[in-house]
C-alpha cells in the first residue's frame, strides 16, 4: 500500500503574490518589504514620528493583513489580543480610531497600500 504525502503550497508574498524561496515571518518578499519600509518612512501623512515607528514595527512583525484590494486591512493590536479593521482613508475601529484620532494602524495600512 502506497501513501501519498500532501504537497504543501509554497509560501507567497502578501503584496505581490510571488512565490517566496524563504518564508518570512511577516509574509512579504525582500523587494516588497523594502518598498513598504520606504513608503512608511516617507509618507507620514499627518502621523507623528512615534506612530510611524510603531507602524514600521507592526509591518515588520507581520501584523497587517490585506483584506480587500489593498484598501481594507486587518491590524493586530500592541499586545496581540485584539484585531482591528482599518482603511487607508484613516478609519479604524481601534479605541483611538473610534474617537476620530489618527492611529498608527492607519499609518501602517497607508504605508502598505502606498508600496
pLDDT tens, residue by residue, 51-63? 888 888 888 888 8
Average pLDDT of the chain? 82
Q: Which pLDDT score, from 0 to 100, does residue 45 have? A: 67
With contact defined as beta carbons under 8 Å apart, do 51 and 86 qualify? no
Name residue, grid cell 507623528.
Answer: 48
Average pLDDT (77-106) is: 89
pTM for the full predicted model: 0.71
Q: Which pLDDT score, from 0 to 100, does residue 84 have? A: 94
CA 50 to chain centre: 17
Question: Residue 101: pLDDT above 70?
Answer: yes
Average pLDDT (38-49) is: 74
Q: Which residues have a Cβ under 8 Å from the Cβ of 20 and sit 6 or more positions away? A: 10, 11, 12, 13, 29
Residue of 96 and 5 predicted with greater confidence: 96
Q: What does each C-alpha distance from 64 to 5, 7, 14, 75 come to in angstroms?
A: 32, 27, 10, 5
Q: Which pLDDT score, from 0 to 100, does residue 38 have? A: 81
Domain ranges of the chain: 30-114
Pair type for strands 64-68 and 72-76: antiparallel
Minimum mean pLDDT among 25-29, 42-46, 74-78: which range? 42-46
- Residue count of the chain, please give it: 115
Highest-confidence segment of 13-17, 41-45, 91-95, 107-111? 91-95
Amino acid at each position: 500500500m502506497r501513501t501519498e504525502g500532501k504537497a504543501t503550497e509554497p509560501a507567497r508574498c502578501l503584496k505581490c503574490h510571488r512565490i517566496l524561496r524563504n518564508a518570512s515571518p511577516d509574509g512579504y518578499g525582500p523587494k516588497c518589504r523594502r518598498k513598504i519600509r520606504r513608503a512608511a518612512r516617507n509618507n507620514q501623512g499627518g502621523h507623528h514620528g512615534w506612530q510611524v515607528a510603531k507602524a514600521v514595527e507592526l509591518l515588520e512583525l507581520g501584523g497587517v493583513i490585506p483584506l480587500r484590494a489593498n484598501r481594507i486591512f486587518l491590524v493586530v493590536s500592541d499586545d496581540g489580543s485584539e484585531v482591528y479593521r482599518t482603511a487607508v482613508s484613516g478609519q479604524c475601529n481601534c479605541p483611538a480610531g473610534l474617537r476620530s484620532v489618527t492611529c498608527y494602524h492607519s499609518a501602517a495600512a497607508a504605508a502598505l497600500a502606498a508600496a
